[in-house]
Amino acid sequence: MGAELGSMKVTEQIDAMEVSSTNPFRFLIVTRVLAATIMLPFLVLYADTLGIFGSWAGANIKGDVSYVLFSHRPSAILSLWIFSGHH
């Protein structure tokens, strides 16, 4: 985003927006920050889902691991770790 805005400043596109009475801050910065704020949780969820599926596929290729075993074993270990006081 910074490189794009810097390029727009060098090519005087931002000055042209000011001349045409358009607020470049609201049009260029606010929209990008708002879009990133809205999409970031979805991108994290997407990446986490792909990571979990990929690790299950790797474990399944290496050995015979069902998805139920794969999904329940880490949660059981994590719950033991949390409730045993190892924060």
Q: Are 30 and 37 in contact (CB under 8 A)?
A: no
Yes or no: say if 41 and 21 are a contact pair by the CB < 8 Å rule: no
Find the domain containing 31 and state its range: 2-83
Name the domain count of the chain: 1
Q: What is the mean pLDDT of residues 30-36?
A: 89
pLDDT at 8 over 60: yes
pTM above 0.85, yes or no: no
Q: Using an 8 Å Cβ cutoff, are 14 and 20 in contact?
A: no
Tokens, residue 16:
């042209």
CA 74/CA 62 separation, integer angstroms = 18
Band of residue 84 on the pLDDT scale cut at 50, 70, 90: low
Return all residues near 1 (Cβ < 8 A) that are at least 6 apart: 32
